[in-house]
Chain A
Amino acid sequence: MEEIKIGVYVCWCGTNIAKMVDVDQVVDQIKFLPDVAVARNYKYMCSDPGQDMIIRDIKQHHLNRVVVAACSPRIHELTFRKALAKAGLNPMMFQMANIREQVAWVHTDREKATKKAVSLVHAAINRVKWHESLDKRTIEVNPATLVIGGGVAGMSAALEIANAGKQVYLVEKSKKLGGYAAQLDLTFPHFYSARQLIKPMIRHVEDHKNIRIFKPMQINQIFGYMGNFQSTLQLANGDETKLKFGNIIVATGLQPFDPSEITSYNYGKLPDVVTSLEFEKMLAKGRIETCEGKEPKNVAIIHCVGSRNANYHEYCSRTCCMTALKFANQIRSALPESNIFDLYADMRSFGKGCEELYTQTSRKNVIFLRFDQQNGLPEIRSTNGEEAVSMLIEFTEQFSKEQVEVPADLVILMVAMESHADAKDISHIAGISMCGNSFFIEKHPKLDPVATTSDGVFIVGTCQAPKDIPDSISQAKAAAARVLATIHVGTIEVDVITATVNEDICCGCQTCVSVCPYKAISFNKEKGVSEVNEILCKGCGTCGSTCPTGAIRSRHFTDQQILSQIQGLLSPDNKFEKM
C-alpha cells in the first residue's frame, strides 16, 4: 500500500475562527501526528490562494489525503473536493473539521475552544487515513419537470421551462390555477389590476403545449433521486398516470392566518371585522360596504395581525404594510368623505416604489396611529347600537402614550402569511426540511436560496418565506434557470456513498433487507447472500449498523472510518499547551 501523506490546513476565516481558536497552537499540536506531511494555517482557505496552496502542496509533497479545519462541511466541503480533483486527487480523499460553526462561534473560552479544535482535527486526520477513492456515477437527467402548486410562483417557473421547449407537469390541488394572486383586486405599489396580470398568465399555462396540468390533484409519493424521479397520480376517472421527471419545483404557497385566535379583535363575532383577503374580494366585487350593505363612514386597518408577535408568529409577513396602504388608497378613491384610520406597529415600506406609496398615501388624509405590540393589542368592541358608529377600537397610541378610541364601521385585519397547511406533507414527499415557522428551508440562506438540501428539489414563492408577487416570480425564474441548466447538461454526477455487501462474510440472515427504507437490498437465493441495488440505495447507512456479521460496508461512512474518528477525537494527546 502506498504511504499515506496528509496535508492539514487550519483556516482563520478572517477573525471568525482565529479570534476564538489559537490556530498556531492547533497546527503545532497536530503536525507531529503520524502521516501528517504538511500542516499550515491560512487566513481564508476557501479563497483562490487558499485552494491554490492545497493544490500546490498536493503536487509538491505528493499528498494523498487532505484535511481542512474551517467552516461547516455543509458550506465548503464541495469547494475543497473540487480543489483536490483539480490537483489530480480523488475528491473523496478529503475530510473537514468544523471549527467555526461548532467551535469558534459557540464557545467563549479560548483555551477550551482550541483544545476542542485540536481534537476535531485529530479525528479528521484519523478518519481521512481510511478514506478510499470513490468514483462518481453519471446519471442521465430526465428532461421533464414536476411543479407542485399553480400559483404565480409555480406558473412562472412552469412557463419559463416550457418556453425553453421542455416538458412540465403542473400539479395543482384546487380546481383553479392562480393561487392567492388571482383573488386580489389591485396590486401595490402601482395599482395594476391583479386579474389583468394573472388571467393572461393562466391562459398561457393552460394553452402551452409543453405543460400538462393536473387539477384538482394531489401528489402522495415521489420515488427516486435527482435526475430520475417518478410518481403515480390517481386520476379522477379512477385511472393512474405514471410520471417521470428529473427535477421538482415546490410552489405550494401560503395560507392566511386565522385571526379568531386573537380574542381582542373579536373576529367571527363582530360581522364588520374582516380579513385583508375578505376585503380584497369585497373590492373585486366593486363595493365597500358593511354587513348591512351600508357605506362605512369610518374604516380602520390594523397591521401585523398574527405577525411580529411571539404569541403567534415572530416573523414579519412583508407584504401586509403595503397591502394596507393599497387599501387606504382604494378606500379614499371609493369613499372620499370617509375617515380612514391606519393602526400600525411599524411601517415597513421597503421595496421599489413602496416608500413612495407611503408618502403618497400620507397626503390623502389617512390618519396613521401607532400601537405597541409589546404592550397589548388593540381591542375592538361593539357599541351595541348606542352610538352612531358600530365599533370602537381602544389602544395606547405610542407617540402620545395616550389611551385613544377610534371609531369604526368596518375593520380590516392585515392577517399574517403562513405557509400552506400541506407544507408538512410536502416536506416528507419531496424530502425537504421546514424551519420553525413551517416555511421550507433553502440549501443556503444567502448563497443558494432556491435550492434545497435534496438535490433536484427547488422551492419558490411563499412556501419558502412571505414575499410579494415580483419576489415570488424572480425566485421561480431563478429555479427554472437552475433546472434548465441541469437539463441542458443532460447528465449529473453523483457520489456513490452507497452500501455494499461483502459476499464472503454475509450469512444470509436478511436483516438488512428488512431495514432498508428504499427496498434497495434483495436476497440472492442462488448465492445465499444479500445484494444492494446501487441505483436505489440512498446511503443512509442503516443496513451497515444493523448487519450482525459486519458484511455491509457503508461507503464513506465505514465502521473503520468512524471508529478511528472517535479514537482521534478522544486521544489523550489532544492538549492545549500554554506558550
Chain B
Amino acid sequence: MDFEPTIVSFLCNWCSYTGADLAGTSRMKYSPNIRIIRVMCSGRIDPTFVLEAFKNGADGVLLCGCHPGDCHYQSGNYKCLRRYNMLKKYFVQLGIRPERIRLDWISASEGKQFANLADSFTETIRHLGPCKIKNVIETYT
C-alpha cells in the first residue's frame, strides 16, 4: 500500500485559519492528510507542540501564520519564525529530517495558496517516507 503521511498543522486564527476556511468555502480540493489545530497566533506554537505531534506519530508538521507585518498581535509570527529556525537545528540533532517541519505565511484571502501548500507539503513528506521517531521513542522508553 502507498504510504499516506499524517500531517499536523498549526494555524493562527486571524489569517491562516481563515485562509484555510476560504479554501473550503471556495470548494478547492486538497489532500486529506493535513489535520488542523487552531491557535490564536502563530506565536502560541510552543516547540513542545511540534515535538508532541512527532512523538504521537505525525510524519510532518506545518506551521502557518499571517504574513510578516500582518500579525494580528503585531509580532507573534516573527517569534514563530525564530522558534522554527531553532526547531530545525534541533531536529537535525534528534535525527529528524528538518524538511519534516515547514513554516509558511497564509493570509485570510489565500485559500488557493493554502490548498497548494497542503498538497506540496504532503508530497514532500510522502517522498521522505514515514517518520520513525515514534517507534524510536517507544523502543527506548
Q: How far is the CB of A449 from chain B (nearest CB, A)?
A: 15
Which of A241-249, A363-371, A434-442 makes up part of the contact surface?
A434-442
CB of A260 closer than 8 Å to a CB of B = no
The listed residue (A437, A441, A454) touching B108 by CB distance below 8 A is A441
Q: How far is the CB of B82 from chain A (nearest CB, A)?
A: 10
Q: A554 contacts B74, CB within 8 Å?
A: no
**B residues in contact with A115, CB < 8 Å:** 32
Most chain A beta carbons < 10 A, residue from B24, B32, B49: B32
**A residues in contact with B29, CB < 8 Å:** 106-108
Q: A563 contacts B52, CB within 8 Å?
A: yes
Which of under 10, 10 to 19, 20 to 34, or 35 or more describes the interface residues of B? Answer: 35 or more
Q: Within A70-111, which residues are at the interface with B (CB < 8 Å)?
A: 72-74, 98, 100-103, 105-109
Q: How far is the CB of A391 from chain B (nearest CB, A)?
A: 39
Question: Closest residue of chain B to A115, judged by CB?
Answer: B32
Q: Mark A352-386, 1 if CB is under 8 A from B, else 0.
A: 00000000000000000000000000000000000
Which of A50-58, A415-423, A528-536, A564-572 makes up part of the contact surface?
A564-572
Q: B73 contacts A540, CB within 8 Å?
A: yes
Question: Closest residue of chain B to A437, judged by CB?
Answer: B109
Q: Mark B10-39, 1 if CB is under 8 A from A, else 0.
A: 000011011011011101111010011111
**A residues in contact with B49, CB < 8 Å:** 545, 562-563, 566
Q: How many A-B residue pairs have CB under 8 A?
A: 144
Q: How far is the CB of A453 from chain B (nearest CB, A)?
A: 6
**A residues in contact with B83, CB < 8 Å:** 545
Instruction: Tell me, in angstroms, the Cα distance from A569 to B33 when the chains sit together.
Output: 12
CB of B70 closer than 8 Å to a CB of A = yes
Q: How far is the CB of B51 from chain A (nearest CB, A)?
A: 10
The listed residue (A102, A109, A431, A540) touching B43 by CB distance below 8 A is A540
Q: B25 contacts A101, CB within 8 Å?
A: yes
**A residues in contact with B27, CB < 8 Å:** 105-106
Q: B108 contacts A542, CB within 8 Å?
A: no
**B residues in contact with A113, CB < 8 Å:** 32
Q: B24 contacts A100, CB within 8 Å?
A: yes
CB of A517 closer than 8 Å to a CB of B = yes
Q: How far is the CB of A423 from chain B (nearest CB, A)?
A: 12
CB of A323 closer than 8 Å to a CB of B = no
Which of A116-124, A139-147, A273-281 makes up part of the contact surface?
A116-124
**Given A107-B32, A542-B76, A566-B8, CB of A436 within 8 Å of CB of B110:** yes
- Give 21 A-B contacts (CB < 8 Å), ordered by A residue: A74-B17, A74-B18, A105-B27, A116-B32, A434-B109, A436-B110, A437-B109, A454-B72, A515-B43, A517-B73, A518-B73, A540-B43, A540-B72, A542-B41, A542-B44, A544-B46, A545-B79, A557-B39, A559-B46, A562-B37, A566-B56
Q: B residues bordering A, Cβ < 8 Å?
A: 4, 6, 8, 14-15, 17-18, 20-21, 23-25, 27-30, 32, 35-41, 43-49, 52-53, 56-58, 69-70, 72-76, 79, 83, 107-110, 115
